[in-house]
Chains A and B, each alone.
Chain A
Amino acid sequence: MKFTKDSINIEPAKEFEKISSKLKEDVIKKLKKRGAVVGISGGIDSSVVLAICARTFGSDRVLGVMMPENDSNPDSLNLAKKLSAKFNTKYVVENMTDALAGFGCYKRRDDAIKDVFPEYNNSYKAKITLPSNLLEKESLNVFQLTIIAPDGKTKSERLPLKEYLQIVAASNFKQRSRMSMLYYHAESRNYAVIGTGNKNEHEQGFFVKYGDGGADIKPIAHLFKTQVFQLADYLEVPEEIRKRTPTTDTYSAEQTQEEFFFRVPFGILDRIWFGWEQGIPSKKIAEVLELTEENVDSIIRDTQRKIRTTEYLRMEPL
């Protein structure tokens, strides 16, 4: 195949028709459900899935569930409301803070943060990130903890194993509690839960098992993030959502998905990954994307490592 920067592009109308007809078949015939529940965050993926569901089943058979909690960015809720208004879908707002406090999510996480930074308290913000210089140097995926003091001063430290595991395990209560809430709303209406993960998240393991990974159907799990944006344009998802930088909305400090996990801009990552899947030689990919062959190879290796080391997340119980 001839590889260009645009080779990754989809034909959005055709793609929508394909996803929509499969979704209808799956929800109505296979699952025998009467509609769709989608957790909406104000992010691009959940917005596209809500739009697909609204056009597939009709607005009155789709429920958007917003689930903010203590650390959520308030913009997320406002954008999710705009999205529901745009597609004329019903929504409910479920504040998850009390449930999460009940699980000890915040306390368990903060205890681990304090083990690393004893000065940390409620007035600080925190996030965990991967090194972002993958295009400059091929480094291993080892997480850093960053805290931001009320005066804006930041401190970062490599996370020791015990604290890393505790912060991740505690934070995962968020996605798992949200899944319980989505199934409550789905079961009480005889609807299906529609997952919102894209190909980047699904294959590289950027999701929580039985959390946001827990859904009846994952209609966009085959689409690169770049392609999700294309579909968002076609479906006329509100511009504010389309222009927003993808974040995790999980940690109290602002954190992009790129710094948390993917390490390179989606426009580059997706095109390299796409080229590699199509069997295009690294040299050719590098030439088209104006990168070095070494850059391309190191991104391919990082992607391969993530796919391989997160296999367990995609496994059914053995």
Chain B
Amino acid sequence: MSEITVVKEFIIENFLFGEEEQLLLDTDFFDEGIIDSTGVIELVSFLEERFNISVDDEELIPENLSSLQNINLFLQKKLNKKDA
């Protein structure tokens, strides 16, 4: 299963209670009210634990976490850095 599919499943399960229709790759979690400030902490903890990465405070920006698309890019960057 690809990383982004894992993240998508987590978001559907945790924030959308299984209703995945409203979640597209570029859906903005914050604009759509899918994830609030508590949700950001949950999401970051999930990414850190599931992918064994550490997210720095400076990386907690919408550009990295506001949509599946952005998370995918961010994750690839983090995972590549880890492998390097």
Contact = CB atoms under 8 A, between A and B. Distances in A.
B38 A164 contact: yes
Interface string B15-54: 0000000000000001101001110111011000000000
B37 A140 contact: yes
B45 A160 contact: yes
Contacts of B57: 131, 139, 142, 144, 158
Contacts of A310: 36
B38 A165 contact: yes
A164 B33 contact: no
Interface in A276-318: 301, 305, 308-311
Interface in A146-184: 158-161, 164-165
Nearest to A137: B61
A131 B37 CA distance: 13
B33 A308 contact: yes
Contacts of A158: 57
Given A161-B42, A164-B38, A164-B41, A309 B60 contact: no
A159 B41 contact: yes
Nearest to B57: A158
Given A160-B45, A305-B30, A138 B61 contact: yes
A187 to B, nearest CB: 34
A158 B55 CA distance: 11
Contacts of B36: 309-310
Contacts of B75: none
A161 B38 contact: yes
Contacts of B45: 160-161
Contacts of A138: 61-62
Nearest to A310: B36
Interface of B: 30-31, 33, 36-38, 40-42, 44-45, 57-58, 60-62, 65
Given A139-B58, A159-B41, A305-B30, 4 more contacts: A143-B37, A161-B42, A308-B30, A308-B33
Interface of A: 131, 137-144, 158-161, 164-165, 301, 305, 308-311
